[in-house]
Amino acid sequence: MRSAVMRYWLKDPGDDRQAPERVDKAIILWDAKRVEKSGKYCFRVVHFYRTYKYCCEERSTQVRDSWYEAIESSIKYS
């Protein structure tokens, strides 16, 4: 079984297939401690080595909640 991984690009790879992935910024989700909602449009992924904060560009609670639910279901070893 493999963990869900949050991956990171500076440009949308769907628009630019040559966009370099920031491989040093990937987050393995199954051993994160928890995910928390933070304000109306943001969430935090609390990992054992760092806390990451993300805010939705769309400024949408619905988008934030869909990210929250997907990440929460991926955490296995909290």
In this predicted model, what pLDDT tens digit does every residue of 25-40 receive, in sequence order?
889 898 899 999 999 9
pLDDT of 73: 92
The pLDDT, as a whole number, for residue 40 is 94
From the CB of residue 68, how many other CB atoms can be counted at a distance below 10 Å? Answer: 20
- Return the pLDDT at 3: 83
Instruction: State residue 56's pLDDT score.
Output: 92
Ranges under pLDDT 70 in the chain: 1, 78
- Asked if 41 and 61 count as a contact pair (C-beta separation under 8 A), the reply is yes
pLDDT of residue 25: 83
Separation CA 15–CA 24 (nearest Å): 22
